Structure 1
Amino acid sequence: MKVLKFGGTSVASSQEIRRVRSIVGNITGTRVAVVVSAMGGITDLLLTMATLASEQDPEYKKILKEIENRHLTCIRELLPVDQQSAALSKVKSELNILETLVEGAFLIGETTPRLLDKVVSYGELLSSFIISQFLNADGLDACFKDSRELIITNEVFGKAAVRFEETNANIRDYFEHNNTQVNVLPGFIASSSNGNSTTLGRGGSDYTAAVIAAAVEAEELEIWTDVSGMYTANPKLVKQAKAIEHISYEEAMELSHFGAKVLYPPTIQPVLSKNIPIRIKNTFQPDSPGTLVTRSENGKGKTVRGISNIGGIALVSLEGPGMIGIPGISKRFFEVLSLAEISVVMITQASSEHSICVGIAEQDADLAVTVVNEAFAYEIESRKLKPVLAEKGLAIIALVGDNMKSHQGLSGKMFSSLGKNNVNIRAIAQGASERNISAVIVQEDVKKALNTLHEAFFEEQVKQLNLFVMGVGNVGSKFLNQVQQQKKYLKENLKLNIRVVGISNSRTMAFDENGIPLTDWEQVLSKGQPANADQFLAQIRKLNYRNSIFVDNTASEDVAAMYESFLLQSISVVTCNKIACSSDYENYRKLKRLAREYNAPFLFETNVGAGLPILDTLKHLIASGDRVHKIQAVLSGSLNFVWNNFNDNTTFYEVVKQAQEEGYTEPDPKIDLSGIDVMRKILILARESGYQLDIDAIENKSFLPEESLETKDNDAFFNTLEKHEPAFQQLYKEAAEEDCKLKYVAEFADGQANVGLHKIPRGHDFYNLEGSDNIVLFYTERYPRQPLIIKGAGAGAAVTASGIFADIIRIGNF
């Protein structure tokens, strides 16, 4: 014999009930017991109706009418016309009794637990009767049996306890003497020894099915619901979650206890001792294999089988010096909570005995604080204990698996993964069986925590990076194109899944939680909301994704000022914007410190040399114990481009204009030509070499006329370049006469730095530097005479974008 249970969503309407008919009809060779819940939403309507009636609100009648219409409509849609009369008459008769019950609540202005159990029982009674009538009318050998005649309980209304001796005898006797092929029974409801209707509490229909399955020693218990089994995590929060093919009873109980609502813990108890398999299936995808729950696989399978969570948790802590070495404190604490009917979900206690912390339902927090403080009033007044406070807005996440105890490092991996994503852990608990490791976190971090752990334990081969890109001009657009081109390669070869979740320019910004399609990002952005840097940050914080990276492709001082806010949220920062790292030294050090403290990399390789690995090489030198004594460099690709292309056959104005149009200069070319950009770069190199230096200490030997430096916009700046053309021609002429080339050079030595235009003689390392190339010479303790040289393209949107991309890949490989 098989026992099948169908939940509320599986019998919500005539369409769903036809699916149930198809599933039941496909079972051959064995008898079937079909346990059904109330039609989806009906139980809530019954409770609401009873509440309104007890408040003497006549609106309860509208709800009663809605309940009636749903059931009568279902009958008319399922049964042939000539068979509807009897069914309609029966249902109307039951609804009349229900109406009488709630009228009584209306008249006296109250309800009792006993009355509520009787009222809510009608949901299952009506659905099971209608389904039995339909199955019979549609050709199956089916009948209805009231579970209240079989399952006997005590009289604890709302969550009655089954009296198994009487119940098992009743169930076995019924099925031994009834040969009907399909028996339809209401779930959730039972009756006391005195004949009063009772209910079995949360998950009661599952429990009904399990009780029947155990009594008849069924070959299998099937739980039909709206998901395809138990998942590795909540699929509504973790899109990569997968159905678990096979799981043990103990693992299923742990997962269901910690929030996996597809199966309730009490369901497992009756069938566990009889070793009856439970199969969880999807009514809407009946061909999906679902999840099979049996005895433990004895060490086979994955260490972590699932990740679960419970929301609405509060922590209540009892602590103080008066607890140490004093017996009975724990007993009194838990006794007080028990007497107040407060269920404890999780317990942790410091080994010093200085504190006991319990996790409870948030709605019980205020009551817990009141009763505990009253119980320990003397100890609190004498300052042996601190007044109890409740911390609300929390949740519990749990790793579950039978084989976790035989594998080292799982706790470390769990907490390390959470820590890297700024998920703060408020309390930890691990049972002696080591089948469960639980942690309390703030509710708003649940989605990020679940995805982080799922990635760590179920998707170890692929790491997802969530990018938020500000600035999509020359560099930004090239960067997005590169990500699009390399997305498949990175996933297959580096196991990195890069997803751009948010983009912004100076006018609009757009977000897509599933990832912005990079083949169409311009159109997405054009339809976005007005750009606002603060709201951009707020949205990133709201999404609260793991492995979040803010990518700054701007030259904005305001954007650079936001880095601290990102790092404080454990959001990594990758930037080609030099303003932050060349700002006040204390700000630079603070950003570096925050990156370490909050496990949020702060990478700015493109600040010097665009895509050249200058800073990365320097970091390795310093980390390996080398010390930089001197740096000589041509660090401006734009200035190198200008001086390499300027001669007596061109004008300085034309060459600078060309450099701007081809993306070699900043949007404001004066930043490059004034030397400020080079000053920032040599400053960053000096700081990354371990020296404390500020930009106002760098000597700038500018070649620009004072008039050019004082201009307020690009048009005025270019006008001055045309006006002072003779001066630029004179600089070229003097260098040519000495067989030299003009290069804008940055130097650092003995703690001092300067930048300026130099005449470079033939044979010098800088002499043959072509196009927009950069070159850096590091003189260190290991390279005292022949410097370490890094040379290559140091400007241009494509190479800068590639440098940003490389920094993101570095973060992915951390």
Structure 2
Amino acid sequence: MVVMKFGAAAVSDASRINDLVRVVRHAVDEGQALIVVCTAMPEVTNLLIGAARAAARGNLATAEQARRALWQRHRTLAERLVADEWERETLYQSWADLLKSFDRIVRALATLGEHSPRSSDAIAAIGERFIGLLLAVALRRAGVAAQLIDGAELIVTDDHFGNARPLPEETAKRARARLLPLAQSRIVPVVTGYIGATRQHLTTTLGRGGGDYSATLIAAALDADEVVLWTDVAGILTADPKLAPEARTLPELSYLEAAEIATLGAEVLHPRTLTPLAHRNIPLHIRNLAQPDMPGTRVVAEPCISSDTARTIISAPAISLIEIAMSPLAAAELGWAPELAVRVLAELTNCGIEVLTFAQSFSERSLLLAVRTADVEYAYERIETCLLPERENQALRTISLRSPVALVAVLSAPGSAYLAPRALASLARVQATVLAMVHGNASHHLSFIVPEEEMGSVVRALHRDLMMG
């Protein structure tokens, strides 16, 4: 059995969905038992969460714009992919039912004047449910027996809304009971990724990019032979080929290396994706949907090791820095303390906002946080609320923003030496502005925050000096 997960790029337009259908049809024709896991169209999750936050602030116009955009983007796809008018109208009715849920949530948020991670999860899940309905129809029209299965039926989680933790034993029991009979009947389940539910049947999400995690949880539950992530890149490369055209595909990585790459911000993997697979020694294969004959990258327990100084360079744009500075004149009991950092980080985590990296300075009495630009406005609001007592007693000096910035991280090969001096020499040569730096001794990585406009030159310099020098 193979679990295939298709990322946002695979559902970005009608031609990509046709590629997806051909890949699935070919696998079915070859006799493979198959599970398909899907994710929302690009930027739809941000659109929906933004609508929830806007509604809570009383901005119903923004929520209505998001509703129209959601409908129009999917309707455009349906008009190109579903020729039969009856099938298309049936699909539209299913989408209309989902929009009724959207409307109920938006009205409730506007009435309450605030929103929670629980309400964000309920509205964010609509994106996967929209595209899942369309994919099931598109596959059936191509002759593939396909049935939509909501991820909330399979993945049981705790109630940490926004970044829920799955309960493996209960998830495995549900997944086997629901999916194995379909697979044995040669029906392809189309599972909405990213979504789970508590034992009380409240919708949760697995964190940004959680569709990968959904796929590997299902694979572990079913003891699958392999998980294939179909993306818009030819596996994991030594750098983003859009920034470093000479970047090459890494043929193999270990579970540990791939997990570190995901943790450092690579969009190709969710940070928790590898854990279910490593426990059962299930290979992960990352492939390019537009080039299905290319080998891509395999993630296995014992890969062939490269001798490069660095294994890969990760770059993540669209990031914002938030700096919290306390007054140096505040009384000792009101000034900077680790407890403040704990309180801020806990507030953001509880609100479902992922902190990509952070650093605190006791000498400067400050805390520096990196979050996605899509989350920065809400993060700022929550920090302001969290530190209101410090604002009132004048212990808080400033909360400042810097945007846009980028995260650039270098992951070294096992046993390689001189990563830090060579990387810093590269940055000096291109006169990079380093806003923050983290050196991970245990995991052999080096991360930098730089202005977004410098990201390209930094990645090219590092790739040239570390990968090709």
The TM-score, its normalising length taken from structure 1, stands at 0.49
Deviation per CA, 1:142-184, whole angstroms, max 9, x where unpaired? 3222222111123333332222221111112223333133221
Taking the aligned partners of 1:226 and 1:444, their CA distance within structure 2 comes to 23
- Alpha-carbon distance change, 68 to 299 in structure 1, aligned in 2, over 3 angstroms: closer
1:308 is displaced (CA, Å) by 1.9
Taking the aligned partners of 1:367 and 1:198, their CA distance within structure 2 comes to 21
Taking the aligned partners of 2:381 and 2:83, their CA distance within structure 1 comes to 56
Instruction: Give the match's secondary structure for 1:218.
Output: coil
- Alpha-carbon distance change, 167 to 434 in structure 1, aligned in 2, over 3 angstroms: closer
Alignment of 1:498-647 (within 5 A): none
Question: In the alignment, what sits opposite 2:333?
Answer: none
- Alpha-carbon distance change, 20 to 418 in structure 1, aligned in 2, over 3 angstroms: same
Taking the aligned partners of 1:247 and 1:31, their CA distance within structure 2 comes to 26
Deviation per CA, 1:608-652, whole angstroms, max 9, x where unpaired? xxxxxxxxxxxxxxxxxxxxxxxxxxxxxxxxxxxxxxxxxxxxx
Question: In the alignment, what sits opposite 1:401?
Answer: 412
Asked whether the equivalents of residues 369 and 388 of structure 1 are also in contact (C-alpha less than 8 Å), the reply is no
Taking the aligned partners of 2:126 and 2:358, their CA distance within structure 1 comes to 39
Match of 2:454 among 439, 445, 461: 445
1:20 is displaced (CA, Å) by 0.8
Question: In the alignment, what sits opposite 1:22?
Answer: 22
Bigger radius of gyration among the two: 1
- Alpha-carbon distance change, 92 to 59 in structure 1, aligned in 2, over 3 angstroms: farther
Question: In the alignment, what sits opposite 2:439?
Answer: 430
Question: In the alignment, what sits opposite 1:282?
Answer: 288
Taking the aligned partners of 2:47 and 2:320, their CA distance within structure 1 comes to 24
Match of 1:308 among 286, 307, 314: 314
Taking the aligned partners of 1:377 and 1:60, their CA distance within structure 2 comes to 33
What one-letter code is carried by the residue in structure 2 that aligns with 1:269? Answer: T
Taking the aligned partners of 1:436 and 1:78, their CA distance within structure 2 comes to 44
Unaligned runs of 5+ in 2: 331-335
Match of 2:212 among 206, 209, 213: 206
Unaligned runs of 5+ in 1: 323-328, 461-814
1:422 is displaced (CA, Å) by 1.9
Question: In the alignment, what sits opposite 1:360?
Answer: 369
Match of 1:141 among 135, 145, 148: 145
- Alpha-carbon distance change, 365 to 447 in structure 1, aligned in 2, over 3 angstroms: farther
Match of 1:239 among 240, 245, 255: 245
Alignment of 1:696-735 (within 5 A): none
Taking the aligned partners of 1:39 and 1:123, their CA distance within structure 2 comes to 7
Taking the aligned partners of 1:411 and 1:104, their CA distance within structure 2 comes to 49
- Alpha-carbon distance change, 236 to 177 in structure 1, aligned in 2, over 3 angstroms: same
Taking the aligned partners of 2:468 and 2:320, their CA distance within structure 1 comes to 28
1:17 is displaced (CA, Å) by 1.8
Instruction: Give the match's secondary structure for 1:190.
Output: strand
Q: Report the more deviating stretch, 391-400 or 147-156.
A: 391-400
Question: In the alignment, what sits opposite 2:5?
Answer: 5
Instruction: Give the match's secondary structure for 1:360.
Output: strand
- Alpha-carbon distance change, 217 to 392 in structure 1, aligned in 2, over 3 angstroms: same
1:360 is displaced (CA, Å) by 0.9
1:32 is displaced (CA, Å) by 0.7
Deviation per CA, 1:92-141, whole angstroms, max 9, x where unpaired? 14413523641563477247444443333232223222222332232223
Asked whether the equivalents of residues 313 and 408 of structure 2 are also in contact (C-alpha less than 8 Å), the reply is yes
Does residue 164 of structure 1 match 2:176?
Answer: no
- Alpha-carbon distance change, 409 to 107 in structure 1, aligned in 2, over 3 angstroms: closer
Instruction: Give the match's secondary structure for 2:273.
Output: helix
Taking the aligned partners of 2:128 and 2:60, their CA distance within structure 1 comes to 25
Asked whether the equivalents of residues 373 and 387 of structure 1 are also in contact (C-alpha less than 8 Å), the reply is no
Instruction: Give the match's secondary structure for 1:265.
Output: coil
Taking the aligned partners of 2:62 and 2:421, their CA distance within structure 1 comes to 56
Question: In the alignment, what sits opposite 2:41?
Answer: 39
1:227 is displaced (CA, Å) by 1.9
Larger RCO, structure (CA 8 Å, separation 6 or more): 2
Asked whether the equivalents of residues 98 and 119 of structure 1 are also in contact (C-alpha less than 8 Å), the reply is no
1:198 is displaced (CA, Å) by 2.3
Deviation per CA, 1:203-243, whole angstroms, max 9, x where unpaired? 02112112111211221111112222222223333333333
Question: In the alignment, what sits opposite 2:81?
Answer: 78
Taking the aligned partners of 2:25 and 2:208, their CA distance within structure 1 comes to 29
1:271 is displaced (CA, Å) by 1.7
Alignment of 1:35-434 (within 5 A): 35-47=37-49, 50=52, 55=58, 57=60, 64-72=67-75, 74-79=77-82, 81=84, 84-85=85-86, 88-99=89-100, 101-102=102-103, 105-106=106-107, 109-110=110-111, 112-113=115-116, 114-178=118-182, 179-181=184-186, 182-297=188-303, 299-310=305-316, 311-314=319-322, 331-341=338-348, 345-346=356-357, 359-361=368-370, 363=376, 364=379, 392-393=402-403, 395-403=406-414, 406-434=415-443
1:304 is displaced (CA, Å) by 0.7
Taking the aligned partners of 2:35 and 2:389, their CA distance within structure 1 comes to 52
- Alpha-carbon distance change, 58 to 250 in structure 1, aligned in 2, over 3 angstroms: same
- Alpha-carbon distance change, 242 to 213 in structure 1, aligned in 2, over 3 angstroms: same
Taking the aligned partners of 1:109 and 1:161, their CA distance within structure 2 comes to 29
- Alpha-carbon distance change, 376 to 78 in structure 1, aligned in 2, over 3 angstroms: closer
Asked whether the equivalents of residues 53 and 115 of structure 2 are also in contact (C-alpha less than 8 Å), the reply is no
Deviation per CA, 1:369-427, whole angstroms, max 9, x where unpaired? 9967966999x98xxxx968768455443210241xx2332211111222232224454
- Alpha-carbon distance change, 208 to 62 in structure 1, aligned in 2, over 3 angstroms: same
Instruction: Give the match's secondary structure for 1:152.
Output: coil
1:256 is displaced (CA, Å) by 2.6
Taking the aligned partners of 1:161 and 1:294, their CA distance within structure 2 comes to 24
Asked whether the equivalents of residues 52 and 115 of structure 2 are also in contact (C-alpha less than 8 Å), the reply is no
Instruction: Give the match's secondary structure for 1:341.
Output: helix
- Alpha-carbon distance change, 312 to 284 in structure 1, aligned in 2, over 3 angstroms: same
Instruction: Give the match's secondary structure for 1:266.
Output: coil
Taking the aligned partners of 2:60 and 2:327, their CA distance within structure 1 comes to 47
Deviation per CA, 1:226-272, whole angstroms, max 9, x where unpaired? 22222222333333333322222222233333332122212222222
Alignment of 1:642-791 (within 5 A): none
Taking the aligned partners of 1:98 and 1:18, their CA distance within structure 2 comes to 26
Taking the aligned partners of 1:87 and 1:203, their CA distance within structure 2 comes to 29
1:437 is displaced (CA, Å) by 1.7
What one-letter code is carried by the residue in structure 2 that aligns with 1:255? Answer: I
Question: In the alignment, what sits opposite 1:507?
Answer: none
The TM-score, its normalising length taken from structure 2, stands at 0.80
What one-letter code is carried by the residue in structure 2 that aligns with 1:78? Answer: L
- Alpha-carbon distance change, 97 to 440 in structure 1, aligned in 2, over 3 angstroms: closer
What one-letter code is carried by the residue in structure 2 that aligns with 1:429? Answer: V
- Alpha-carbon distance change, 104 to 276 in structure 1, aligned in 2, over 3 angstroms: closer
Give the root-mean-square deviation of aligned CA atoms: 3.9
Deviation per CA, 1:593-620, whole angstroms, max 9, x where unpaired? xxxxxxxxxxxxxxxxxxxxxxxxxxxx
Instruction: Give the match's secondary structure for 2:280.
Output: coil
Deviation per CA, 1:22-49, whole angstroms, max 9, x where unpaired? 1112222431100111234544554455
Taking the aligned partners of 1:376 and 1:68, their CA distance within structure 2 comes to 43
Taking the aligned partners of 1:48 and 1:408, their CA distance within structure 2 comes to 44
Asked whether the equivalents of residues 210 and 267 of structure 1 are also in contact (C-alpha less than 8 Å), the reply is yes
